[in-house]
Amino acid sequence: MEAAQHERLSTDSQPRDAKRPSPRSRGRRTKWWLVPKETYISLLATAGILLHLVLRYVLHRPETVFLIPLYATLLLGGLPLVADLTGKMFRLQFGSDLLAGASIVTAALLDEYLVGSIVVLMLSGGTALEHFATRRASSVLEALARRMPQTAHLQRGEQIHEVTLAEVAPGDTLIVRPHEICPVDGVVVEGHGAMDEAYLTGEPFTISKAPGSQVLSGAINGDSAMMIVAEKLAVDSRYAKIMRVVQASEQNRPRLRRLGDRLGAWYTPLAVGLAGLSWLASGEPHRFLAVMVVATPCPLLIAIPVAVIGAISLAARRSIIIKNAAVLEQVDTCRTLIFDKTGTLTYGRPTLIEILCAPGFGRDEVLRRAASLEAYSKHPLAGAILAAAQESALALEPVSQVSERPGEGLRGIVNGCRVRIAGRKTVSAAEVPPAAPGLECLLLIDDAFAAVFRFRDTPRHDTHSFLSHLRPRHNVNRVILLSGDRESEVRYLAESVGIREVQAEKSPEEKVAIVTAETARARTLFVGDGINDAPGLLAATVGVAFGANSDITSEAAGAVILEASLRKVDELLHIGRRMRIVALESALGGMGLSLIGMVAASLGYLPPIAGAIAQEIIDLAAVLNALRLALPSNDLADF
């Protein structure tokens, strides 16, 4: 069979490559008509202002010429923005951008076309920056879809046909070629090899496969072709289920209300009201215009985005990639922290520390049999058994009829003997030693108890100190350990690091349900590292990918910690807190100074031109304060 497969691989590889589009050709680029108009308006305003300055101060053109770029900016950029803001006003939506729209109109009426163009740039540029920082929803599904093959190799008799995934039915025989992604869930019927299931399990292991082994859609095949029988439709396979959960999580994800909007909700009516009262009291419309010019909310429109960009820059220098700017505002307000187990709180490298053999069985015998079977397992403990066998220079024995069904453990025929590796709950042998703290599994040979293997998955050296400082330093009320691993393992780790709440043996679907329920009670921060954590990362208030092991997890998360260290999680919390403080300082300080100027303008002490100059000084001070956020700091961790 393998020779025939190699022949077919060589004869049809060119047509297959010609038929399938490359991942890059499947629409990763954003279509120009899907880009918000504010992006184009900001570019227009920038070009208009620069052209005006060149015509006026470099080429010394007359006024009728150097004002043309500003006219174009206000007409083509300002008018659409003002029209949108007018609609908001009629819907009683009062935000900081509404006041900016009034400032554009005011500047045009005052013949302050340059000031009006600058406000257009600030208003559209702030929206464009926010869109750029938060445009990640569709990229998650795009990354998932790019990994999934569009076709499968269906074997009928001696012929192999390339069919779409929709044409694959349970019971069909498929060929998975070397280095291809498995298209559906199934079972191996012929061939030996290995598959990388890290995208699905989050574990950095290559899982050996033999006849009887389960295979999962989305797993990457190794160097050998294998024949599998499909057990499910493509739409019902594991990978498709994860895609649906991710899609549902994205659709249900609430949108963050901008900090500037919340502040502008009271600042805008106050500014407009004060300007109107000054006009009514004095009978001078110029006072209304002066107040509006001073009230231009540049600290809200510019200082806050500058603070966000500074925080993003600071985080990047600390090996933390901020993919959603909302993370910075919310991360330090999360009161429930949820952690995946393997690879986050632990190093993800269990080690075998003890083998207790039953009478009549020797250490090398049980270790050889266990390692031979565990070579076909996807469980993290398999790697520890294999490593111990390798250290003891034990040769592995031939294996067949491998199966690993939920609740039944790992079964197979090893050199003619029936071998089973399972947990304590599935074995009823009286001679089994008493349970001990930590990780363990039991070995049975020909249905007789043979040995107990005990392991330790070492927690990170700073796990306990990190968790213990969360409540006093960050006001965290609850810490939850959420894992798909066996309950005994998860509870052992929880006890060793001081976590009281444990959710073990959970599927990705169950994980997202738990995270969604917790998020409904309080803001949540979820830290995970595998593709099976992607739905939970989306469902949480803040999702943080720990390490860059999976592009899917990185896409789903709002932040990615490139250096696998809990100290980086603490630094992210501090950067978020620092960003909120600096942004509020800049926004509230600038608004406070603007209020003083508005009062002076309403009393007639500040004419429109002087008010515009004063506002520019206030803006500069607010922006400079926001810029200090990007400065290096040594106080970003406190444990």
Residue 477: which residues within 8 A CB-CB, separation 6 or more?
335, 336, 471, 522
pLDDT given for residue 429 in this prediction: 59
Residues 222/193, Cβ–Cβ less than 8 Å: yes
The mean pLDDT value for 125-140 works out to 54
Cross-strand bridge partners of residue 221: 195
Cα distance between residue 449 and residue 335, in whole Å = 47
Sequence length of the chain is: 639
Cα distance between residue 284 and residue 247, in whole Å = 57
Per-residue pLDDT at 371 exceeds 90: yes
Nearest residue to 489 via CA among 601, 390, 358, 350: 350
Comparing 305-309, 387-391, 472-476, 598-602, the range with the smallest average pLDDT is 305-309
Long-range pairs for 237-242: beta carbons < 8 A, 24 or more residues apart? 237/183, 237/184, 237/185, 238/185, 238/200, 239/144, 239/148, 239/200, 241/508, 241/509, 242/144, 242/200, 242/218, 242/508, 242/531, 242/532, 242/534, 242/535
Residue 210: which residues within 8 A CB-CB, separation 6 or more?
188, 192, 376, 399, 400, 402, 412
pLDDT given for residue 276 in this prediction: 87
Q: Which residue has the higher pLDDT, 27 or 304?
A: 304
Cross-strand bridge partners of residue 226: 176
Q: How confident is the model at residue 4 (pLDDT cuts 50, 70, 90)?
A: very low
Q: Write the pLDDT tens digit of every residue in 295-349.
A: 876 666 667 777 887 888 788 888 788 888 888 889 999 999 999 877 788 887 7
Alpha helices in 354-501 (DSSP H): 363-374, 380-391, 463-474, 487-497
Cα distance between residue 448 and residue 430, in whole Å = 11
pLDDT given for residue 28 in this prediction: 44
pLDDT given for residue 408 in this prediction: 74
Q: Which residue has the higher pLDDT, 43 or 548?
A: 43
Q: How confident is the model at residue 25 (pLDDT cuts 50, 70, 90)?
A: very low
pLDDT given for residue 329 in this prediction: 86
Cα distance between residue 122 and residue 114, in whole Å = 12
Strand ranges in 150-301 using DSSP code E only, listed in sequence order:
151-156, 159-164, 173-176, 186-190, 193-196, 206-209, 214-215, 220-221, 226-230
Cα distance between residue 351 and residue 469, in whole Å = 28
To the nearest whole percent, how much of the chain has pLDDT over 70?
A: 80
Give 526: exposed, middle or buried? Use CB within 10 Å, 0-12, 13-18, 19+: buried
Comparing 115-129, 137-151, 322-336, 338-352, the range with the smallest average pLDDT is 137-151
Alpha helices in 375-462 (DSSP H): 380-391
Cα distance between residue 321 and residue 309, in whole Å = 12
The mean pLDDT value for 557-564 works out to 82
Per-residue pLDDT at 129 exceeds 70: no
**DSSP structural state of residue 540:** S
Three-class SS state of 539: helix
Amino acid at 495: E
Residues 153/198, Cβ–Cβ less than 8 Å: no
Strand ranges in 113-157 using DSSP code E only, listed in sequence order:
151-156
Give 303: exposed, middle or buried? Use CB within 10 Å, 0-12, 13-18, 19+: buried
The mean pLDDT value for 504-524 works out to 90
CB atoms within 10 A of CB 633: 14
Q: Which residue has the higher pLDDT, 13 or 180?
A: 180
**DSSP structural state of residue 210:** -
The mean pLDDT value for 63-86 works out to 93
Residue 254: which residues within 8 A CB-CB, separation 6 or more?
none
Three-class SS state of 165: helix
The mean pLDDT value for 111-136 works out to 69
Q: Write the pLDDT tens digit of every residue in 564-586.
A: 789 999 999 999 999 888 888 88
Residue 362: which residues within 8 A CB-CB, separation 6 or more?
none
pLDDT given for residue 152 in this prediction: 94
pLDDT given for residue 268 in this prediction: 74
Three-class SS state of 382: helix
> Which region, left, alpha or beta, applies to residue 377 given φ > 0 means left and ψ of -120 to 50 means alpha?
beta
Alpha helices in 339-395 (DSSP H): 363-374, 380-391
Torsion of CA 598, 600, 605, 610, to 10 degrees: -40
Q: How confident is the model at residue 14 (pLDDT cuts 50, 70, 90)?
A: very low
Comparing 46-55, 79-88, 361-370, 376-385, the range with the smallest average pLDDT is 376-385
Cα distance between residue 555 and residue 548, in whole Å = 10
Cα distance between residue 193 and residue 368, in whole Å = 20
CB atoms within 10 A of CB 53: 13
Per-residue pLDDT at 524 exceeds 80: yes
pLDDT given for residue 397 in this prediction: 92
Per-residue pLDDT at 244 exceeds 90: no
Cα distance between residue 144 and residue 240, in whole Å = 9
pLDDT given for residue 307 in this prediction: 82
Amino acid at 373: L
Cα distance between residue 38 and residue 125, in whole Å = 7
Q: How confident is the model at residue 23 (pLDDT cuts 50, 70, 90)?
A: very low
Q: How confident is the model at residue 138 (pLDDT cuts 50, 70, 90)?
A: very low
Comparing 8-12, 102-106, 323-327, 554-558, the range with the smallest average pLDDT is 8-12
Q: Which residue has the higher pLDDT, 404 or 276?
A: 276
Residues 115/128, Cβ–Cβ less than 8 Å: no
Per-residue pLDDT at 451 exceeds 90: yes
Q: Which residue has the higher pLDDT, 257 or 529?
A: 529
Q: How confident is the model at residue 618 (pLDDT cuts 50, 70, 90)?
A: confident
Per-residue pLDDT at 419 exceeds 50: yes
pLDDT given for residue 48 in this prediction: 94
What does pLDDT average to over the chain? 80
Per-residue pLDDT at 548 exceeds 60: no
The mean pLDDT value for 591-597 works out to 88
Element (H, E) at 419: strand 417-422
The mean pLDDT value for 499-518 works out to 90
pLDDT given for residue 426 in this prediction: 66
Per-residue pLDDT at 266 exceeds 70: yes
State how far the alpha carbon of 268 is from the alpha carbons of 306, 390, 619, 623, in Å: 21, 71, 17, 20
Cα distance between residue 278 and residue 496, in whole Å = 67
